[in-house]
């Protein structure tokens, strides 16, 4: 995998995605919101045979764009790779992404969304937390760009109750231990008028899944 | 919609201009102005039903079309809905008291495990605007809650909503239970929610998947018309 020529910005990951392709045999097609964590795993483990193509993270807000974009990316790169792996969970596609993967003969990470696989799908499901709103490292950093502004809460704070009236708690699922991010997450909870809970997850099932993909040489 | 609104005194407008202004005020989500407009029209001897259909629903229809066409986005629709809610709060008791025409009755709720209700609330409000009686079960509804409600209320339509991929399969649990009990065909079942699609609606045995609140209203009206036609044919 090639290394980025200049520092990667969250704005770039949100709106453009990221292409780090070289001569790898395995291509990960991933959500831009996972780019830093995937890169950290690739670099830490010396997975030089793995390339990474991230799609814009802002698709988080428009899940209907995920499946067609993943499909187009698979079609574009499938001839160049021995294996393609999709690092999106269902992510609000209503099962469409899984059906696409089945149809195109590729695999994807298990789970309903990244909140689940970061915590570990089994543990997340066992919690049965109906009234929690989750943020990851990326989403804490991008809180205003992904939630506050698109929901119009910067202009119409009176909508807060309509959006989050049924929620009780903001859970910050931390991938890294970063006091600044924790302070920001706490502030997000205050702005949303929710209780706050810090939960260090690390990379959860993401790490185990990518180890399995990397080892399947 | 315009910068001149500060200068407009609603009470000085004739009926036609007032309704046109209320369309603008709904579009801009101005709840106080909508409430004032509703009260003005009622004071001018408009029936509550006429205020609802001509002033509020007419305005929300434009909002719905512009949302569908990508001109308006969720925050603006919610503001408009909130303004309409203000007007509906005034009209609802009057509509009941005056025996306004009722198109049909709907029981609606978000399914078990899901607390998201923005779409469901919009549908409920638009259905009320279209003349349906709406019984809102709220969020996180078990199959028993739906069954109790339809037995108690005797609706024409059962509406189910889900925002999560993990909760939308529960709609099938409800529909399968209706089938088991032999009452599935007594109700029109409409489903909606962001991760759903038409294919899913068909797969679980719903009568229709509704993409948004405006589609839900049109679909509900169509099914009510079919029901009336069937009843008429059987007379």
Q: Does A163 touch chain B (CB under 8 A)?
A: yes
Average of per-residue pLDDT across A55-72: 96
Question: How far, in Å, CA of A96 to CA of A66, rounded?
Answer: 9
Neighbours of B216 (CB within 10 A): 30
Alpha-carbon span A47 to A121, nearest angstrom: 25
CB B179 within 8 A of CB B127: no
A94 in contact with B, Cβ within 8 Å: yes
| Inter-chain CB proximity B75 and A152 less than 8 Å | yes
Residue B208: per-residue pLDDT: 98
CB contact under 8 A, B166 and A112: yes
What's the confidence (pLDDT) of residue B99? Answer: 84
Of residues A91, A94, A101, the one with CA closest to residue A139: A91
Closest CA to A113 of A136, A137, A146: A136
Interface test with A, best of B165, B191, B193, B206 (most A CBs within 10 A): B165
pLDDT surpasses 70 at B6:
no
Are A182 and A174 in contact by the 8 Å Cβ rule? The answer is yes
pLDDT tops 60 at residue B2: no
| CB of A156 less than 8 A from some CB of B | yes
Cross-chain residue pair A96–B197, CB shorter than 8 Å:
yes
The answer to whether A156 contacts B196, with C-beta atoms less than 8 Å apart, is no
Kindly report, residue by residue over A71-83, the tens digit of the pLDDT: 999 999 999 999 9
**What average pLDDT does range B125-138 have in this prediction?**
92
Q: How many CB atoms lie within 10 A of CB B42?
A: 16
Q: Compute φ and ψ for B168, nearest 5 degrees.
A: -65, -30
pLDDT at B62 over 80: yes
Distance of residue A59 Cα from the nearest chain B Cα, in angstroms: 13
Q: With CA atoms as reference, report the closest residue to A211 among A47, A87, A86, A84.
A: A47
Element counts in chain B: helices (H) and strands (E): 10, 5
Mean of per-residue pLDDT scores for chain B: 93
Q: What are the backbone dihedrals phi and psi of residue B73, each rounded to the nearest 5 degrees, phi first?
A: -120, 175
Helices and strands (DSSP H and E) totals, chain A: 11, 8
Instruction: Say what the pLDDT of residue B220 is.
Output: 97
pLDDT digits (tens, 9 = 90+) for B77-116: 999 999 999 999 999 999 989 888 889 999 999 999 999 9
| Cβ-Cβ contacts under 8 Å, B29 against chain A | 156
Split at pLDDT 50, 70, 90, the class of A1 is: low
- How far apart are the CA of B15 and the nearest CA of chain A, in angstroms? 30
CA atoms within 13 A on the CB side of A140: 25
List phi, psi (to 5°) of A18. -160, 135
Q: What is the ipTM of this complex?
A: 0.84
Please name the CATH architecture into which domain A10-113+204-215 falls.
3-Layer(aba) Sandwich (3.40)
Chain B interface mutation, best of A130, A146, A150, A165, highest count of B Cβ atoms under 10 Å: A130
Question: Which three-class secondary structure state does DSSP give residue B149?
Answer: helix
Dist CA A59 CA A17 (whole Å): 10
Predicted local confidence at residue A5, as pLDDT: 65
Across the interface, do B165 and A96 touch by the CB < 8 Å criterion? Answer: no
| Cβ–Cβ < 8 Å for B73, B67 | yes
> From CA A87, how far away is CA A110, in angstroms rounded?
9
| Minimum CA–CA partner of B164 in chain A | A92
- Domain span(s) for CATH 3.40.50 in chain A: 10-113+204-215
Average pLDDT score, chain A: 95
Residue A162 contacts B where some CB pair is shorter than 8 Å: yes
Q: Residue B98 has what pLDDT? A: 87
pLDDT of res. A84: 97
Q: Categorize the per-residue pLDDT at A211 as very low, low, confident or very high, splitting at 50, 70 and 90.
A: very high
Lowest-confidence region among A93-107, A158-172, A176-190, B221-235:
B221-235
Rounded to the nearest 5°, which phi and psi values hold at A32?
A: -60, -25
Q: Which of A5-9, B3-7, B134-138 has the lowest mean pLDDT?
A: B3-7
* A199 in B contact zone (CB under 8 Å): no
A112 vs B: CB within 8 A: yes
- pTM, full prediction: 0.89
Is the confidence at residue B5, as pLDDT, over 80? no
Cβ atoms of B84 and B34 closer than 8 Å: yes
Q: How confident is the model at residue B145 (pLDDT cuts 50, 70, 90)?
A: very high
Query: Higher confidence at residue A50 or residue A21?
Result: A50
> Which one, of B41, B44, B45, lies nearest residue B59 by Cα?
B41
Q: Distance from A111 to chain B by nearest Cα, in Å?
A: 9
Tell me which of B219 and B57 has the higher pLDDT: B219
């Amino acid at each position: 995998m090639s290394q980025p020529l200049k520092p990667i910005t969250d704005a770039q990951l949100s709106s453009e995605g990221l292409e780090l392709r070289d001569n790898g045999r395995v291509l990960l097609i991933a959500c831009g919101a996972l780019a830093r964590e995937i890169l950290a795993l690739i670099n830490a483990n010396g997975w030089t045979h793995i390339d990474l193509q991230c799609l814009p993270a802002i698709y988080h807000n428009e899940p209907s764009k995920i499946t067609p974009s993943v499909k187009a990316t698979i079609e574009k790169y499938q001839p160049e790779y021995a294996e393609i792996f999709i690092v999106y969970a269902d992510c609000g596609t209503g099962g469409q992404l899984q059906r696409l993967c089945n149809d195109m003969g590729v695999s994807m990470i298990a789970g309903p969304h990244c909140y689940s696989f970061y915590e570990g799908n089994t543990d997340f499901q066992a919690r049965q937390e109906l009234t929690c709103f989750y943020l990851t490292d990326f989403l804490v950093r991008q809180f205003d760009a992904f939630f506050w502004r698109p929901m119009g809460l910067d202009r119409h704070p009176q909508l807060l109750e309509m959006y989050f009236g049924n929620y009780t708690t903001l859970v910050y699922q931390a991938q890294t231990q970063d006091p600044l991010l924790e302070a920001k997450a706490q502030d997000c909870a205050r702005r949303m008028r929710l209780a706050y809970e810090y939960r260090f997850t690390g990379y959860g099932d993401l790490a185990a899944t990518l180890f399995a993909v990397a080892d399947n040489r | 919609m315009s910068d001149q609104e500060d200068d407009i005194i609603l009470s000085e407008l004739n009926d036609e201009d007032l309704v046109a202004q209320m369309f603008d005020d709904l579009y801009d989500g101005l709840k106080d102005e909508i409430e004032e407009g509703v009260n003005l029209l009622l004071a001018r001897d408009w029936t509550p039903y006429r205020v609802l259909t001509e002033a509020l629903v007419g305005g929300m229809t434009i909002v719905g079309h512009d949302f569908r066409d990508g001109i308006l986005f969720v925050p603006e629709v919610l503001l408009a809905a909130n303004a309409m809610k203000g007007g509906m709060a005034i009209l609802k008791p009057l509509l009941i008291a005056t025996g306004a025409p009722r198109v049909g009755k709907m029981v609606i709720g978000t399914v078990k495990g899901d607390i998201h209700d923005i779409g469901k609330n919009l549908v409920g409000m638009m259905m009320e605007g279209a003349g349906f009686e709406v019984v809102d079960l709220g969020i996180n509804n078990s199959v028993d809650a739906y069954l109790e409600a339809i037995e108690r209320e005797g609706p024409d339509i059962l509406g189910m909503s889900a925002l999560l991929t993990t909760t939308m399969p529960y709609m099938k649990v409800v529909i399968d239970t209706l089938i088991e009990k032999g009452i599935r065909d007594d109700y029109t079942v409409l489903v909606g929610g962001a991760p759903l699609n038409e294919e899913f609606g068909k797969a679980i045995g719903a009568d229709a998947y509704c993409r948004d609140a405006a589609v839900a209203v049109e679909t509900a009206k169509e099914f009510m018309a079919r029901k009336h036609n069937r009843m008429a044919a059987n007379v």
